[in-house]
Structure 1
């Protein structure tokens, strides 16, 4: 893979070295689909005609179908129903819709070369975390100033370094138990075996796809909330940590990070520790209501 000079120009020296190391190992950052490049071009030109933007999105029927699935979330219940892409753009806004389109195109950009079942399970988990994160953000937006589209984008991208590494290393799934339901990735073991960190890879994917900086930082530090000070990325990580916990709780699987993160997450989201269990139950109830 040729090194993307435009990407390198946005990175620090250490990050540029990380990209070069990935290239040397044969790890490829997924290219953005054409529809994203076209949409970004329209927005950068200041195009405001929703019909033009809707036509661009509607080139890909799969993207349209996925977009409609996302906006059926309870996070957008006050705006439903939607009858067209143009209505979605009008209700949610062009930038917010673009964020969701970025999220729904990622799975197709990182396709399965082998072990399709593991890839399918990974993306199902990512979509679930993204949907739960949307509900958390919608409820706490007045406190956290993070919006549902941003939370969904972070939820889909937060572990995207995993399928990138799965593409590159045929042994990654088995070695990291990534093909087992509810498996928890051991970062130290990942680094020892593959000399690669899925958080760093995911961060670089986010940079390559021109995600907002605070979302890229949240991807990089979603296992290390304490590394972030008073920053929008810290709030996003709190939302991700809670969404991940709710996903694992719903699956009846232990989350080894939750005990150490619980108090900081509650504080960051403006929730009293005693109120957190009830809030979590409410979010899960709303999540399950979307399935029926």
Structure 2
């Protein structure tokens, strides 16, 4: 979701107000453990496989992701160890983060969350696949960003009882949602998502992309504020959102200036979009 709502720097007072009003979920132990192992000079895949295998949800997702079109292997991974060997360290982190994000929203209505996570996981897969068509965009990083992009929406639901109804009314239209968030809660899910990403130790470029993905001026922000590699994550995800709208009922992809800017930034032509639709259609099937 993208909007035409202007983002401006957050003052320290405003940041403290947000943190005082919203409970940001603590980083789960599994995420911390995996990231600590991944940061070692010689991380051990066997250790990471043990962490994944300790949780049924992580085990199932690891095997599912390893067998997804992001990897395109003819043989199917049938065990956690086979999945871990194929995924590599960055994608193992993706698995743990994805399951941890779902677990933070376990107290919310199952039907609402199932729809939300289906869209998020579909977008993440599509973005990871499309990243392979763009030089300089790591598929694993693109997948993580797309999955985490709107992850603060469940956090907002947990903190504000009236948020779920507002979210349902806004649908997939980010413009309406962000305007209503700021009017009623004096913050928005991009800011809360940025805080969540920082709290969970995600790479700074992913946190920055989350922070600014609703900013209409993001393509002219200074490099030190929004690095070009973070901007690329926003752009490829917006393209992926546009493409998956053809396959998801009720999706409202961003059109107009934001979409045109993303195409220009990535050098995407109408012919490329047709190719991307074919790629994603195959991937989703």
Correspondence for 2:112 among 111, 115, 118: 118
Deviations 1:46-105 (A, max 9, x none): 343322221122111111111222222212104753233333333342233223432332
Confirm or deny that 1:132 pairs with 2:129. Answer: no
Correspondence for 1:284 among 273, 277, 284: 277
Whether the 8 Å CA contact 2:244–2:280 is kept in 1: the answer is: no
Match of 2:53 in 1: 58
Flag the structure with more relative contact order, 1 or 2, with Cα contacts below 8 A and sequence separation at least 6: 2
Give the drift of 1:280.
Answer: 2.6
Rounded to whole Å, the distance in 1 between the matches of 2:52 and 2:252 is 37
Q: 1:140-151 maps to which residues of 2 (within 5 A)? A: 140=134, 143=135, 145-151=136-142
Rounded to whole Å, the distance in 2 between the matches of 1:127 and 1:49 is 27
Whether the 8 Å CA contact 2:62–2:95 is kept in 1: the answer is: yes
Q: 1:1-292 maps to which residues of 2 (within 5 A)? A: 14=10, 17-25=13-21, 27-78=22-73, 80-113=75-108, 115-140=109-134, 143=135, 145-177=136-168, 182-186=172-176, 187-224=178-215, 225-229=218-222, 231-251=228-248, 253=250, 255=252, 257-271=254-268, 275-276=269-270, 278-292=271-285
SS in structure 2 of the partner of residue 202 of structure 1: helix
Deviations 1:215-266 (A, max 9, x none): 1111111122335455111100101111222233433657473211233212
In the superposition, relative to structure 1, how do residues 228 and 112 fare at CA in structure 2: closer, same or farther (>3 Å)? farther
Whether the 8 Å CA contact 2:242–2:253 is kept in 1: the answer is: no
Rounded to whole Å, the distance in 2 between the matches of 1:222 and 1:79 is 36
In the superposition, relative to structure 1, how do residues 221 and 31 fare at CA in structure 2: closer, same or farther (>3 Å)? same
Whether the 8 Å CA contact 1:112–1:119 is kept in 2: the answer is: no
In the superposition, relative to structure 1, how do residues 16 and 44 fare at CA in structure 2: closer, same or farther (>3 Å)? farther
In the superposition, relative to structure 1, how do residues 219 and 290 fare at CA in structure 2: closer, same or farther (>3 Å)? same
Whether the 8 Å CA contact 2:34–2:93 is kept in 1: the answer is: yes
Give the drift of 1:158.
Answer: 0.4
Whether the 8 Å CA contact 1:67–1:104 is kept in 2: the answer is: no
After TM superposition, the score normalised by the length of structure 2 is 0.83
Question: Which blocks of at least 5 consecutive residues in structure 2 are unaligned?
Answer: 1-8
Number of aligned residues: 270
Give the drift of 1:33.
Answer: 2.3
Give every structure 1 segment of 4 or more consecutive aligned residues whose post-TM-superposition deviation is greater than 4 Å. 13-19
After TM superposition, the score normalised by the length of structure 1 is 0.81
SS in structure 1 of the partner of residue 258 of structure 2: helix
Deviations 1:111-141 (A, max 9, x none): 333x33222211111111111111111222x
